[in-house]
Amino acid sequence: MAPRVSIVLPTYNERGNIEPLLAQLLPLQQRFDLEILVVDDDSTDGTAELVRQLAHGEPRLRLVRRVGRSGLASAIKEGLLDATGDLAVVMDSDGQHEPATVQRAIETLLLGDLDLVIGSRFHAEASIQGLSDRRETGSTWANAWARFSLPAAYGQLTDLMSGFFALRLDPLLPLIRAVDVNGFKFLFELLAVSRGRLRTAEVPLQFQPRSYGSSKLDLAIFWDFLISILHSLSLRLLPRRAISFALVGASGVLVQLASTQLLMQLAGLGFERALPLAVVTAASSNYLINNALTFRFQRLQGLALLQGLLKFLLVASLPVLANVGLASAFYSLVARDTFWAQLAGILVVFVWNYAASSRFVWNTP
């Protein structure tokens, strides 16, 4: 009896790519009991509407339309949890992953009695046509860092950042549930939570150029990668959001120190007068960066962005007073050193700002 195979296709604005991709995937029903789930993040280009129309004439096609939820990792997780197959394949919807690789990945999974098979861009038999030299170098660098942070059992894998993989659903469901959807890559997070217990192999990808649309790679994705690596290196003991908040806070330290010096040297203000202005400047900088990166899935815009800033400054007002008061006292009573005085004040406010602003500004626990 043919195994039931669920193919999960996360989409956002892929109207020009999804129909030809589905046309190449649907013939797989001749080999497998096939189910295709298109998990769409409420695309603005009509992707979901097109898939809905196609599903009217194709019972093996299902649309999962997400409103108020977004993110590649969470779309993959939701698709895998909704899938009804014995096996599942996850692949990109932009045409860069060849559908022909699906059958090879499933056969490798079954014949090798494996848990997970990864489609690798860096396999000895792979070819890459769809990455610029810059992105290929970036992917190579990212894989090296990922390999360093993951269990040694996965050291032979060549593409830990791949968006193409096949797995056995039933035994891996507990791990899928445990994946942090705020992570950089679903596959990386899955390997991290598995702690080296999965039986894995790779198949080569013939990585194609994107036919329509543009890449979703941006600064926020790079930020997610950095947080994922640090989260893994901390043995997943530190919350991802706390790591992100701390890194942003470190940038705020630099902003505060620089602002204090500028106000003292250019505006001629004394330390006690320059410090409050510098603290508010740093707090505002932290808020804007956290809104863009740490809380980007709850990102505030327009009037809500301004209201959020006022809330953030209100939430931070008590620790800001503590920051200013402690730094001023340190400067006056302990040592007339502006650097250590400010650092003492900054350390006081971190935990309060993280816990309070998460809850009251971005409404996250």
State the distance between the two ends of the chain, measured CA to CA, in whole angstroms.
47
Rounded distance between C-alpha atoms, residue 85 and residue 87, angstroms: 5
Residue 216 contacts residue 247 (beta carbons within 8 Å): no
Provide the CATH number for the domain formed by 4-217 in this structure: 3.90.550.10
What integer pLDDT is reported at residue 126 of this predicted model?
78
Domain boundaries along the sequence of the chain: 4-217, 240-360
CA 192, 194, 197 angle in degrees (round to 5)?
A: 125
Cα pseudo-dihedral 178, 181, 185, 190, rounded to 10:
10
Rounded distance between C-alpha atoms, residue 271 and residue 232, angstroms: 41
What integer pLDDT is reported at residue 142 of this predicted model?
75
pTM: 0.70
Q: Which residue carries 């007068």 as its tokens?
A: 273
Rounded distance between C-alpha atoms, residue 68 and residue 289, angstroms: 22
Q: Count of alpha carbons within 13 Å of 4, Cβ hemisphere only?
A: 8
User: What does the DSSP assignment read for 39-95?
Assistant: EE---SSSHHHHHHHHHHT-TTEEEEE-SS---HHHHHHHHHHH--SSEEEE--SSS
Question: Shortest CA distance to 208 belongs to which of 135, 127, 138, 142?
Answer: 127
Q: What is the pLDDT along the chain (365 residues), one digit of tens a residue?
A: 789 999 999 999 999 999 999 999 999 999 999 999 999 999 999 999 999 999 999 999 999 999 888 788 999 999 999 999 999 999 998 877 788 899 999 999 999 999 999 999 888 887 776 555 666 676 777 777 778 888 899 999 999 889 999 999 999 999 999 998 776 689 999 999 999 999 999 999 886 666 665 555 556 667 777 777 787 777 777 777 778 778 887 888 889 889 999 999 988 888 888 888 988 898 889 888 888 877 776 788 889 898 888 888 877 666 666 666 666 666 676 666 666 666 666 666 666 666 656 666 666 65
Q: Which two tokens stand for residue 104?
A: 């090879």
Q: Which residue carries 């797995």 as its tokens?
A: 167
